[in-house]
């Protein structure tokens, strides 16, 4: 059943640029939406399944991005190696952080992740000789994948779309795996899960690291796609936006997270025309969706569809 949804995604993603060729919304906004989706799917593993709130996810995004940026511009490393280095650094840091942070609960966990995010952001702004300071690093070379240079919006669409589909597929499989079931048990009741013999702290640590890796990978792609990185893209505001995307779409739902990310990205691009009123409208829409569909857009919509389908079917019975 879940895989059916996945195949639908694949079809949509492939058809989109063919149905709307040369459309700014598909290529440029689509790339942005795809990146956000990868981030949201990763964050959802942490938030939706392991029940841990993270207000510092943008920090991992930034670590991947800056690793790629610094290694390719200052040390002339090839893109792929820089990306791998970024992933390794992130994994190590996530592993070091996981134990102490995951002992915390609820708002305290949120605070700790927030603090972590702020610390990373401050380093990005202040360590000017490494990170280029508030204006960041420019001149990041295009990504070279075994000879295929990703240097146009179309090619980036392909790369990001493929990565997003991969992320969704991984997430779906993870949830259905032993680790996933362990996580869901932890979310349900950590105490009960421990009673059942599940090593909850190991499960939580693993998902924390996986979630961080999703973000770091997206960060590296982001750096090459933009050609520059700056701390603005990795601030607390971004972390909060990511959490919003996951909750908006529907926590504990991979498609929900991806859907929430894509919706919010499109919304932002579309609302721009309202200029000064954009903030207002954005706030109202956010409140409205959460009030009327508290389980998230995706879950709410699928429930609504199911209800309609049910109503149609029962209406047909004599």
Partner 1 sequence: MKTGFWKSIITATLLVVASLVNAAEPIKIGSFLTVTGPASFLGDPELKTLQMYVEDINAKGGIKGRKIELIHYDTGGKAQDAVSFVKRLIQSDKVDLIVGGTTTGDTMAVIPDVEKEGIPFISMAGAVEIIEPVKPWVFKTPHTDRMAAAKIFEDIRKRGFTKVALISGDGGFDKSGRAQVLKLAPEYGMTLVADESYGNKDTDMTTQLTKIRASGAEVIINFGLGQAPAIVTKNIKQLGIALPVYQSHGVASKTFIDLAGDAAEGVRLPAAALVVAEQLPDTDPQKPVLLAYKNKYEAKHGPVSTFGGHAYDGLMIAVAAIERAGGVDRAKVRDEIERTKGFIGTAGVFNMSPQDHMGLNAAAFKLVEVQKGAWKIIE
Partner 2 sequence: MPEQLFQFLVTGITVGSTYALVGLGFALIYNASDVVNFAQGEFVMLGAMAAIALLGAGLPLPLAAILATLATVGVGLLLERFAIEPALGASVVTTIIITIGAAIFLRGIAMLLWGKDFHSLPPFTGDAPIQLGGATVLPQSLWVLGVTVALVVLVRLFFNRTLIGKALLACSFNRAAAQLVGINVRMMLRLAYGLSAGLGALAGILIAPITFSSYEAGVMLGLKGFSAAIVGGIGNPMGAVAGGLLLGVLESLGAGLVSSGYKDAIAFLFVLMVLFFEPTGLFGHKAAERV
Residues at the site binding partner 1, with contacts judged by CB under 8 A? 22, 24, 28-29, 32, 125-126, 128, 133-136, 138-139, 153, 226-228, 230, 232-233, 269, 272, 275-276, 278-279
| Cα 154 off chain centre by | 21
Residue 75 or 191 with smaller CB distance to partner 2: 191
Name the token pair of 208. 């924390």
Residue 75 or 277 with smaller CB distance to partner 1: 277
Phi and psi (nearest 5°) for 150?
-90, 95
Among positions 217-246, residues that touch partner 2 (CB under 8 A) are 236-237, 240, 243-244
Residue 294 or 309 with smaller CB distance to partner 2: 294
Residue 143 or 212 with smaller CB distance to partner 2: 212
The burial class, CB within 10 Å (0-12 / 13-18 / 19+), for 148 is exposed
Residue matched to tokens 């708002």: 107
For the chain, report the end-to-end CA distance as a whole number of angstroms.
30
Residue matched to tokens 């590296």: 220
Binding letters toward partner 2, positions 84-123, x by CB under 8 A:
----------------x--xxxxxx-xxx-xxx-xx--xx
Q: What share of the chain is helix, strand, coil (3-state, %, to 5)?
A: 80, 5, 15
In this structure, how many other beta carbons lie within 10 angstroms of the beta carbon of residue 269? Answer: 16
Among positions 260-279, residues that touch partner 2 (CB under 8 A) are 276-279
Binding-site partner at residue 177 among partner 2, partner 1, none, CB < 5 to 8 Å by type: none
Torsion over CA: 260, 265, 271, 275 (sign): positive
Q: Give the interface segment with partner 2, choosing from 79-87, 197-205, 280-288, 310-318 (CB under 8 A).
A: 280-288
Residue numbers of the site for partner 2 (CB under 8 A)?
47, 53, 100, 103-108, 110-112, 114-116, 118-119, 122-123, 126, 189, 191-192, 236-237, 240, 243-244, 247-248, 251, 276-287, 290-291, 294-295
């Amino acid at each position: 059943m879940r895989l059916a949804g996945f195949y639908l995604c694949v079809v949509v993603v492939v058809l989109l640029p063919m149905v709307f060729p040369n459309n700014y919304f598909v290529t440029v906004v689509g790339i942005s939406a795809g990146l956000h989706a990868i981030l949201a799917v990763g964050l959802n593993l942490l938030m939706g399944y392991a029940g841990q709130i993270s207000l510092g996810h943008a920090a991992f995004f930034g670590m991947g991005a800056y690793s790629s940026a610094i290694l390719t511009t200052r040390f002339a490393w090839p893109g792929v190696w820089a990306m791998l280095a970024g992933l390794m650094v992130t994994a190590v840091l996530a592993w070091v952080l996981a134990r102490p942070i995951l002992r915390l609960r609820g708002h305290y966990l949120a605070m700790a992740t927030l603090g972590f995010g702020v610390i990373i952001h401050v380093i990005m702004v202040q360590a000017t000789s490494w990170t280029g300071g508030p204006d960041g690093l420019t001149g990041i070379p295009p990504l070279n994948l075994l000879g295929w240079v990703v240097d146009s919006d179309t090619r980036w669409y392909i790369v990001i779309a493929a990565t997003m589909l991969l992320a969704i597929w991984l997430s779906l499989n993870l949830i259905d795996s032993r680790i996933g079931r362990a996580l869901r048990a932890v979310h349900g009741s950590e105490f009960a899960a421990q009673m059942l013999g599940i090593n909850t702290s190991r499960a939580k640590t693993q998902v924390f690291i996986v979630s961080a890796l999703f973000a770091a990978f997206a960060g590296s792609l982001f750096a090459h796609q933009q050609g520059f990185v700056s701390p603005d893209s990795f601030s607390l505001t971004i972390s909060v936006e990511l959490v919003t995307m996951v909750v908006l779409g529907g926590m504990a739902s991979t498609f929900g997270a991806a859907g929430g990310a894509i919706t919010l990205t499109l919304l932002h691009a579309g609302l721009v025309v309202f200029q000064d009123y954009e903030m207002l409208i954005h706030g109202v829409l956010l409140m409205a969706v959460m009030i009327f569909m508290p389980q998230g857009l995706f879950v709410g919509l699928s429930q609504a569809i199911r209800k309609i389908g049910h109503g149609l079917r029962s209406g047909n019975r004599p």
